[in-house]
Structure 1
Amino acid sequence: MSAVHLHLVLNHFPIVGFLIIFFMFLYGIYCKNEEIKFISLWFLIFLSIITIIVYFSGHEELGKWTFILSIVLLLSSITSIIIKKFITGFYGGQIRHDEVRKSLKKEVEHEH
C-alpha cells in the first residue's frame, strides 16, 4: 500500500472520530462516568496517532494545524491518563481498614 492509499484510507477517521469522541467525552462528564471519560482519552490517543500518519502521507501544508492540535491532544490525553493513575494510587494508599489498623496497633503495643 502506497502513502497515497494509506492517506485515502485513514483520512476521514480523525475528522469524524474527533467529533464523536468529543461528544463521548462530554457525555462522560455529564453522566459523571469516569470509565467513559477514560475510554474517550484512549480513543483520542488512537486518533492522534492516525492523524500523524495522515499528515505525513498526504498534504503536509493543509494538515499543519490539524497535526499540531493532534499532537497537543495526544500529549494531554497521555498526561491525563498518567495523572489519573497517580491519583488513584495516592488515594488507594490512603484507604484504611479497621482490621488492618487494629492488628498494627496491637503490634506496636507489644513492642513497648
Structure 2
Amino acid sequence: MNDAHLHLVVNHFPIIGTIFGLGILIAGLVLKNNSVKNTAYVLLVFAAIFAFISMSTGEGAEEMVEDMPNIGKQIIHKHEELAEKLALLLYATGIFSLVALYTSLKNHKFSKIASYITLVLAIGAAVLGSSVGTSGGEIRHTEIRDNTVNSAVENVNSNSENATDEN
C-alpha cells in the first residue's frame, strides 16, 4: 500500500468523525448527558488522530498524482492549504476534547465551558472539513470542479461553431 492509497483510506475519517462527533456533542449538550458528551469527545480525539495520519500521507499522495493529466498543481495546492488549516483546527479540537473529557470525568466546574469551546471548534472543523473534502475530491473527480460545466459548454459551443464554419 503506497501513500496515495493510504491517504485515500484515512482521509475520510477526520471529516466524518468530526461531523459525527459534533452531532453527538450537540445531543449530549441538549440532553445534558455526560456519557453522550464523553462519547463525542473521544470521537473528536480520534478525528484529530486521523487528521495527523492523513496529513502524514498527503505529501506522498501529492507526489504520485501531481503530474497526471487534468490534475493541476494549483488544485493540489488549494487542497493542501485547506487541509493544513483543518488539521490545526482538529488538533485544537482534540486537545479541548481531552480537556473537556477530563473535566467531565472529574466533575470540574470548568466542564461546561470546555464543552462549549469544544463545540465551537468542532463546528468550525466541520465547516472547514466540507471545503477540504470538496477540494480533495476535485483533484481526481474533474466533474465536480466549478469550472467543469463552463468548460464543457465552451467546448460544445466552439465545436458547434467550428462545424458551422466548415459547412
TM-score (norm 2): 0.49
Q: Work out the CA distance in 2 between the residues paired with 1:84 and 1:63.
A: 30
Map of 1:1-112 to 2, 5 A cutoff?
A: 1-58=1-58, 60-87=80-107
Q: Could you give the per-residue CA deviations for residues 26-81 of structure 1, whole angstroms, max 9, x where no partner exists? A: 01111111101001100111111001110121154341101110110111011112
The residue identity in structure 1 corresponding to 2:95 is L
Distance 1:62 1:28 in 2: 29
- Asked whether the equivalents of residues 21 and 44 of structure 1 are also in contact (C-alpha less than 8 Å), the reply is yes
| Greater gyration radius | 1
Separation in 1, partners of 2:97, 2:84: 20
Structure 1: distance between partners of 2:104 and 2:26: 18
**Residue ranges of structure 2 left out of the alignment (5+ in a row):** 60-79, 109-167
Q: Secondary structure at the match of 1:63?
A: helix
C-alpha displacement of 1:24: 1.0
**TM-score (ref. length: structure 1):** 0.70
Q: Secondary structure at the match of 1:87?
A: coil
Contact 2:28 2:36 in 1 (8 A): yes
Q: 8 Å contact 1:52–1:70 — kept in the other structure? A: no
Specify the code of the residue in structure 1 equivalent to 2:30: Y
How far off its partner does 1:8 sit?
0.3
